[in-house]
Amino acid sequence: MVKIEQVVGIRVITLDEVDSTNEYAKSIVREVPEGTVVVAKRQTAGRGRKGRSWTSPEGGLWLSVILKPPKVDPRLVFVGALAVVDTLADFGIASGIKWPNDVWAGGKKIAGVLTEGKVGEYTILGVGLNVNNPIPEELRETATAMVNFTGVKLPLERVLERLLFHLDGWYRVLKERPEIMMAKVRERTFILGRVVRVVEDDDVLIGRAVDVLDDGSLLLDIGGQLRRVLYGDVSLRFF
Ligand code: BTX
């Protein structure tokens, strides 16, 4: 029988409070093995992409996984997104990926993924999942938490255990059979077939999302012209 070695979660560092688990993970990257996880009860300066802030009070799961892949792979973000989708399914919550780095449930954002790395050295895979935490007033239109679906608070330890299990599994699939992971990403990406607005650097593109390609980029149909988008912010409500 082939023994499968666990990578993600071989070591878990738990903190009560930290500015950002991604920052903390970066500061210890050289001292710990690949797969080490930093999880904090609350973050005082949780970050999203492009310097945006990520609200992280007690009750949610805020964690970073230290990965040391041979090269930086932009598809690592999907390891996080797919693991969240599977974790939510374990608790009976249906969700989908809003390319490239959000997970939505019931029409609202329930989780976000932030990958940061240094070429040839490491990638920090940060995942923020709203579990039992309150959603601040100003985000209630767009954000939700697991507790809003279950009606009862969830044991955070159990959610963490499922999330680490799925992160480990999808990281292995990415390394060994990336095409299988990308097929799953396509299946889970709920924006496909819909007209979206994508902001890519200074470009604003409006078109129909038709596919997620094997390299992780989004294929847009803009009035019959196909355009590949490597990275960007997607909005669905822009009319
Ligand atoms: P993003 O840039 O796609 O999303 C950030 C935006 O999401 C914010 O501008 C705000 O509108 C909204 N938002 C803020 N907090 C929440 C929340 N709790 N739930 C839903 N929406 C919210 C997404 O970035 C990537 C987030 C990664 C967060 C993890 S937590 C662990 C790790 N450490 C860290 O500092 N960041 C990552």
Angle between helices 156-176 and 178-188 (to 10 degrees): 130
pLDDT at 53: 98
For residue 4, being part of any structural domain is answered with no
Top mutation candidate among 39, 44, 54 for ligand 1, by most atoms within 8 Å of CB: 54
Q: Are residues 33 and 125 in the same domain?
A: yes
Cα–Cα dist 129/91, whole Å:
13
Residue 52 falls within a domain, yes or no? yes
Q: What was the pLDDT predicted at 223?
A: 96
- Let me know if residue 208 belongs to a domain: yes
Query: What ipTM does this complex have?
Result: 0.99
Please give the tally of structural domains in the chain. 2
pLDDT tens across 34-76, in order?
A: 999 999 999 999 999 999 999 999 999 999 999 999 888 999 9
Identify the domain boundary among 168, 188, 208: 188
In this prediction the pTM is 0.97
Q: Half-sphere exposure of 222 toward its Cβ, with a 13 Å CA cutoff?
A: 12
DSSP H or E run through 208: strand 203-212
Q: For position 206, which CATH number holds?
A: 2.30.30.100
For residues 140 and 219, membership in a common domain is answered with: no
Domain limits for position 199: 195-235
Q: What is the pLDDT of residue 237?
A: 73
At which residue do the structure tokens 């409500």 appear?
Answer: 237
Q: How far apart are the first and last CA of the chain?
A: 56
Nearest-CA neighbor of 217 among 50, 9, 73, 63? Answer: 73
Task: Quote the pLDDT of residue 162.
Answer: 98
Q: Which residues line ligand 1 (CB under 6 A)?
A: 20-22, 43, 46-49, 52, 54-56, 62-64, 101-102, 109, 112-114, 126-128, 130, 139, 143
Which class for 70: exposed (0-12), middle (13-18), buried (19 or more C-beta within 10 A)? Answer: exposed
Residue 62 has which token pair? Answer: 């805020």
161 plus 206 within the same structural domain:
no
In a domain, 199, yes or no: yes
Please, are residues 151 and 93 in contact by the beta-carbon 8 Å criterion?
A: no
Q: Which residue numbers in the chain have pLDDT < 50? A: none
